[in-house]
Structure 1
Amino acid sequence: MTAGLPAARTTRSGLLDVGSGQSMYWEETGSGLPALYLHGGPGAGLGRGGYVERFDRTRYRVIGVDQRGCGRSLPPAGDPAHDLDGNTTPRLIADLELLRIHLGVEAWVLNGVSWGATLALAYAQAHPERVLGIVLMAVTTTRRAEVDWITETVGALYPEDWDRFAAFAENAGVGYRRGEGRIVEAYAQLLRSPDPAAHDAAARAWMAWEHAHIGIGSGRSDGPFDPVRDPVMATLITHYWSHDAFLDPPVLGRMDPLSGIPGVLIHGRLDVSGPVITAWRVHRSWPGSELIVEETEGHGGPRMVQAWTEANARLADRLTRPEAPR
């Protein structure tokens, strides 16, 4: 736990009906400025709730959600009852609006990590009047160039792992050949298989590639394949990435609504999975935003997490001043 901050404790939680037979899990703790945390993936879920420690719960009412189809939300992606075709970024944004109204929140601070940064930016662009400020770590916009980088180009740094990743898709009978199609589209097709064994094998191949490249400079080591979380995550990642995150225009093509919203962008120089150029472009397109580049870390790490915590504290100071404009 970060020194000086109170221990995490969920005070309320529930399942919110978001339509089409889908329910979204939410939880909250603390009091003060409403703050919404958006996890990565897509499909990573809230996990053990460590995100709460990035906030002073005497100043923030911290709200977290397991996005549609993952974590404790029901039914999970891959389940026949899950509406995967209806799982899109506009639907996630609509889910968050339903939750905001359900919880009686007028406007909130957004926090997002990795994919959660994309979702936070997309939500803010759709509903800028509901956003008090934004803090993002491991910044993504999930545009096609970023997806092609993380699924193919960065294979130049991990050729052995990428060869196994591509060979699995080539041998899976979906018509994929390296250099002749997008590997993310091949895996998206494989992860829609109704055959549990085929789905599991594709999820294992996908997550093995994720683990190969994501850890550099992050100060963490990914554990073994999780048979509950990882198939859901692989299904949702490939679903979103093969559809350009269901964002048209993309995030960087509509930054004007963020004008006047305070924001902090935190990124690692060593993030080979998501190079810092994305955070730089978001920063350059968002007047008034602050960019913090941690030179010694990658897609996360203790220095970045500390910067995240400090950014929320500074934002609380700014928003609770008597003369605060928002």
Structure 2
Amino acid sequence: MLDVGNGHSLYWERVGTPGAKPAVMLHGGPGAGCSPSHRRQWDPERYDVLLFDQRGCGRSRPFASLEHNTTWDLVGDIEALRAMCGHEQWQVFGGSWGSTLSLAYSQTHPERVSEIILRGIFLCEQNELDWLYKYGASELYPEEWDRFVAHAAAHGDDLLETYIALLDDADPEVRKAAANAWNRWEGVTVTLLPEEDTIDRMAGGENAVATARIETHYFRHRCWLESGQLLAGADKLRGIPGVIVQGRHDCCTPPAAAWALKQAWPEVDLQIVPDASHLFTEPGITDGLVRATDRFAAAPPS
């Protein structure tokens, strides 16, 4: 655990070989957490990887806390973890919300970044939020959309604010039901083929309430990013090698954001996987990510 101030203590772990190539893994959500399966994206003989649960997530404490929990608090936490490890630079690796945080960190501290590997690009633009929570994904999964909206229909017109209110209800059963509904909708959108196990795990896992509370908190504030900020800041990434692995049929974070980032950061290697959606566990996505970490492990230091 690392005390990062304001009452927050972060769970972290290091895996691989001490003294090997350093990397940091930034998990998704916001609000999810790291898991043992995340470690499998690097060769443990050639990497020294730090994984951690972001503020309020997983094993970090206080659990599900929204206080002092912003994108920029997390950027500061990543720097504190790097300093703790004693790395001058490290590889920054993140998918989904982790891609957002990777870009925010790398644009703030480019001198600390050796490479960037991203999956399922999410820039936290309003059109991306609207795709998931107003119109877009709803056209592909109409039956699940109706189920998602129905849970909140009696409580208000603004879907995000309604779910925030339900997740803050005094009744724990109301909070739990709202978290299950919020996370189920996301779980429906993240795989190419329906995976009930994935949907059930996301909807009803032990971190479900934390994931939903933190995610809605971040989305209410547009992740504390100005419109277009991450694209405008892409010039700060010039000279940093990068790979984006993006599923062609990603319904959670559609490829348009990855393509826009490629236009702003021409040097990045954008790989669109034709038979994949969003999750890193899908075979084509896994293959692209492992090939990227292997490639950078073999590259001489810059």
Output the TM-score relative to the length of structure 2.
0.92
| Unmatched segments (≥5 aa) in structure 1 | 1-14
Give the distance between the partners of 2:70 and 2:292, measured in 1 at CA: 29
Give the distance between the partners of 2:40 and 2:205, measured in 1 at CA: 27
Give the distance between the partners of 1:168 and 1:303, measured in 2 at CA: 34
Report the CA distance between 1:247 and its aligned residue.
1.4
Which of 257, 272, 280 is 2:251 aligned to?
272
2:209 corresponds to 1:231: yes
Give the distance between the partners of 1:217 and 1:111, measured in 2 at CA: 25
Report if aligned partners of 2:192, 2:250 keep a CA contact under 8 Å in 1.
yes
Give 1:3's aligned residue.
Answer: none
Which of 53, 58, 68 is 1:71 aligned to?
58
Give the distance between the partners of 2:32 and 2:269, measured in 1 at CA: 26
Which of 27, 32, 38 is 1:44 aligned to?
32
Give 1:199's aligned residue.
Answer: 175
Which of 288, 297, 302 is 1:316 aligned to?
297
What's the % identity of the aligned pairs?
40
Report the CA distance between 1:253 and its aligned residue.
2.6
Report if aligned partners of 1:218, 1:299 keep a CA contact under 8 Å in 2.
no
Give 1:26's aligned residue.
Answer: 12
Report if aligned partners of 1:42, 1:237 keep a CA contact under 8 Å in 2.
yes
For 1:264-285, what per-residue CA distance to the aligned partner results, in whole angstroms no more than 9, with x for missing partners?
A: 0000111122111111111111
Report if aligned partners of 1:169, 1:186 keep a CA contact under 8 Å in 2.
yes
2:81 corresponds to 1:99: yes
1:156-195 correspondence to structure 2 within 5 Å: 156-172=139-155, 176-177=156-157, 181=158, 183-195=159-171
Output the TM-score relative to the length of structure 1.
0.86
Opposite residue 28 of structure 1, the aligned amino acid is R
1:45-60 correspondence to structure 2 within 5 Å: 45-47=33-35, 49-60=36-47
Report if aligned partners of 2:23, 2:91 keep a CA contact under 8 Å in 1.
yes
* Equivalent position SS for 1:133: strand
Opposite residue 237 of structure 1, the aligned amino acid is E
2:185 corresponds to 1:209: yes
Which of 16, 24, 28 is 2:2 aligned to?
16
Give the distance between the partners of 2:195 and 2:267, measured in 1 at CA: 30
Report if aligned partners of 1:140, 1:274 keep a CA contact under 8 Å in 2.
yes
Larger mean Cα displacement after TM superposition, 96-105 or 240-249: 240-249
Give the distance between the partners of 1:311 and 1:295, measured in 2 at CA: 17
Report if aligned partners of 1:218, 1:298 keep a CA contact under 8 Å in 2.
no
| Unmatched segments (≥5 aa) in structure 2 | none
Report if aligned partners of 1:134, 1:262 keep a CA contact under 8 Å in 2.
yes
Distance 1:254 1:194, change over 3 A: farther
Opposite residue 140 of structure 1, the aligned amino acid is F
For 1:102-149, what per-residue CA distance to the aligned partner results, in whole angstroms no more than 9, with x for missing partners?
A: 121211001101111111011001100110001111221222211111
Which of 234, 238, 249 is 1:259 aligned to?
238
Opposite residue 190 of structure 1, the aligned amino acid is L
Report the CA distance between 1:188 and its aligned residue.
2.3
Equivalenced residue count is 294
Which of 206, 222, 226 is 1:248 aligned to?
226
